[in-house]
Every structure is written in structure tokens, then in C-alpha cells.
Amino acid sequence: MNNLLIINAGGYGRTVLGLARGDSACGKQWQIKGFLDSRPELGGTAAPVVGDPMTYDIIEGDIFLCALGSPAQRRKYAAPLLAKGADFISLRPDVNFGERVTFGRGCIFELRATVGADSVLGDFVTILSTTIIGHDVTVGSYVQIGSFVFVGGGACIGNDVVIHPHATILPGVRIGDGAVIGAGSVVIRNVAAGVTMFGNPAKPLSFK
């Protein structure tokens, strides 16, 4: 049986721990080994901190999940383990997948998420609860999509994008790499790379 390690013993790490324990594979294909975190004091009765993700030496049978919301942090802490050949699994305890959906390694799908037919998702994508991804949607790698988000059919989301809760992405819209979509925003037109959008309809957010 494989041993699952979760990167991040903080709040979202504990949330993912609960999702993992509720997965049908837990206790059959793998068991919980603990957290990887540079803060050993965060370990507790739920699961211990067994190492630091930056220095951890992989043991045969180890498998991994990266429970970090920030795409940049996800890249940073997954990178040294990937360089050592780490096996990142995808967690999907209660997802409604349409036909011919594909997704990469290290993805986390929270409860009651829906992904429409023929959608393609990259590596290390996190989709929080009750979000709906339409048909024929393309999602890049290291993307964070919050709860209660709707992404219309044929939309294209780049790498390292963050979409906050209750946002709506209209069908066919393209969102560039590293863009941020604010909570409750309604995106009706394409978004350039690195731009933060907010409002209904969503407009570029400038900081003065």
C-alpha cells in the first residue's frame, strides 16, 4: 500500500486531509503518512509533520498531494519533489466528470465539482467545491479555481491563473497566464496575461 504525504499542514492542508480520508481509495490503495511542512509545530492528532518538502527524501511507496492555494507556492514546493521523481496523485472523491475529460497529475477536485465533456485540464489544478466547468474548456497548469465559479463552454484558462469564488467566465472567453479574477466578477471578454479583473462586468483593477 502506498503512503500519502500532503504538502502544507496549514488550514487547506487539513481540508485536503479530510477529503483524502473520505476518498474510496483511502485504506485500500494508500494510507495517510502525514504532512510535509517547514513548520513541525503544525502537526497534531490529525496527522504528523514528517518532513520539509524542500528537503524530503522520497521513500518507495510515497505519493504526494500539494495542498497550497497560491500557484507560485504550489510550483515552489512541488518542484524539489518533482526533481526527485515524486509521484503526485490527483484527488477526486466526489466529482461529476463529463465524457472524455482529461486532467494532469497533482490535481485536487473538491466535493460536488462538475467538469463538462471534452474539457482538458493541466497539472496541479485545484477546483474548489460546487464549481462548474463547462464543456470543451481548456485549463492550464497550476490554476486555482474557487468555490461557486462557473466557466462557460469553450473558455480557455492559461497557466497560474487564480479565479476567486462566485466568478463567472462567459463561454469562449480566454484568460491569459497569471491573470487574477476577483470574487463575484463576470468576465465577458478576453483577459490579458497578468491582469487582475474585478466587477460586473469585470474590468482591469488598478492599484493607486
22-56 tens-digit pLDDT: 999 999 999 999 999 999 888 777 899 999 999 99
d(CA 164, CA 120): 20
User: What mean pLDDT comes out for the span 139-145?
Assistant: 98
| pLDDT above 70: residue 191 | yes
pLDDT given at position 5? 98
What value does the CA radius of gyration of the chain take, rounded to a whole number of Å?
17
| pLDDT above 70: residue 207 | no
Residue 94 banded pLDDT, cuts 50, 70, 90: confident
The CATH code of the domain at 2-83 is 3.40.50.20
pLDDT given at position 42? 87
| pLDDT above 70: residue 208 | no
pLDDT tens digits, one per residue of 58-74 = 999 999 999 999 999 99
Task: Break the chain into its structural domains and give their ranges.
Answer: 2-83, 95-199
Q: Which three cell numbers stand for residue 168?
A: 463567472
Closest CA to 166 of 180, 152, 145: 145
On the question of a common fold for 2-83 and 95-199, the answer reads no
- Please give the CATH topology (third level) of the domain spanning 95-199: UDP N-Acetylglucosamine Acyltransferase; domain 1 (2.160.10)
User: What mean pLDDT comes out for the span 124-148?
Assistant: 98
User: What mean pLDDT comes out for the span 169-194?
Assistant: 98
- Local structure of 33: helix, strand or coil: strand
Position 23, amino acid = D
pLDDT tens digits, one per residue of 144-155 = 999 999 999 999
